[in-house]
A and B are shown apart, each in its own frame.
Chain A
């Protein structure tokens, strides 16, 4: 079976686990929602909230990413399924891309909900002319986050202190995504006087990041998991 078909199989399995366990709906989305509300309490001034809303959306996404990645690898290690895949000779690139694909699907849902939360809680408006930039930003940033999360989630899965290790590894690595995605969404939403054309260079950076971590992660994942 080709690596791509195996990757889709693994992604489908991860999403099926999510449908059965409802961790996103029962835990991750409420966590992200509470984070957004807490931000609103902390920055209780409409002008400040509107200015920093894109950054808050991505910060909430980053924190939720950690929960999603922990969960994504917990299901693999609870009963030794990741080891079983390795023993079964499942291509490590397929495992990497499959896990990343499943994670990306979950992240997209989360980001859309968070954007709507920003519209409702922080008074943001989304213009029709900025939708292409917004969607492209979401996709590019999501791919980068999913690749980093899968790579470091796989690495941390084998360690006893993985709950602490994962944020320590992941948050610095996704800092470029936080910066790029925030600037691009600022441009899409017209925050702080930014215009749509300001966002595209940041999208380019997000794409380069996603490709670099996608390729690098697929190559490094096998040896990391084997160790």
Chain B
């Protein structure tokens, strides 16, 4: 489904050039420029209200581009923002799960919305470690970390190519955070492009391959992640 409607090779995956996005009458993004390649994990760093969440929502096709040029997976965010939505996954403070349904029910539902096969759904659950013991457990009874993993399994089953994560570590204990980080690294290695907005710089910094500073609606600095030089050298020659 996605292959037929995806325009020619999307390189880079996210390409924003002097983008302005307005919420109400407030310019939440005021000329932001950013380029993200496939399989990168980019940390968006900045104070509250700097525009991190807006940047994620713009990339998810939820906000119109008022000025500038924005492309995600080759889709123009000014004219094709509804087309980009099926290809990206936005995970905010909530998980988007049906709490009365089991883990399998949830992953199957989200996978079915894009016509995923049973094998793809099983594989998504397996990758997130929710395939065996947890598969038939109602999500209401899961821990916060398990719900997060279930939600990420839904993103995989939906064949999301770009993962937009807003404070993904919030509410998780140390073990669950470690699990989440491992999951994200695994997803990036498998080809997903990941943007993470976080205030937990130490945690997210070790995860990211690149760190981007968002200040007053603009991307002010983009630097390789100094906390994780080995990963940087692998990904950014």
A interface, CB within 8 angstroms of B? 1, 6, 9, 13, 16-17, 20-21, 75, 78-81, 83-90
Contact = CB atoms under 8 A, between A and B. Distances in A.
Interface in B177-218: none
Contacts of A89: 61, 82-86
B98 A1 contact: no
B110 A78 contact: no
Contact of A83 (B94, B105, B113): B94
A88 B113 contact: yes
Given A9-B112, A13-B109, A89-B61, A80 B100 contact: no
B85 A80 contact: no
B158 A88 contact: yes
B86 A20 contact: no
Contact of B110 (A75, A83, A88): A88
Interface of B: 1, 60-62, 82-86, 88-90, 92-102, 105, 109-110, 112-115, 138-139, 147, 158
A87 B90 contact: yes
B109 A79 contact: no
Contact of A79 (B83, B95, B102, B138): B95
Main secondary structure of the interface of A (DSSP, over half): helix
A1 B94 CA distance: 26
A98 to B, nearest CB: 11
A120 B61 CA distance: 55
17 contacts: A1-B1, A16-B105, A17-B100, A20-B105, A75-B98, A79-B147, A80-B96, A81-B98, A83-B96, A85-B96, A85-B113, A86-B62, A87-B60, A87-B85, A88-B85, A88-B89, A89-B61
B155 to A, nearest CB: 9
Nearest to A75: B98
Given A81-B96, A89-B86, A13 B61 contact: no
A84 B101 contact: no
A87 B62 contact: yes
Nearest to B88: A87
Given A9-B112, A20-B100, A21-B100, 14 more contacts: A13-B98, A13-B109, A16-B105, A20-B102, A75-B98, A79-B99, A80-B95, A80-B96, A81-B97, A83-B92, A84-B96, A87-B89, A88-B110, A89-B84
In order of increasing CB-CB distance, the 5 nearest A-B pairs are A84-B96, A80-B94, A89-B85, A89-B86, A21-B100
A1 B114 contact: yes
Given A16-B105, A87-B85, A89-B82, A79 B98 contact: yes
Nearest to B110: A88
B58 to A, nearest CB: 12
A15 to B, nearest CB: 11
Contacts of A81: 96-98
Nearest to A84: B96
Contact of A1 (B92, B105, B115, B139): B115
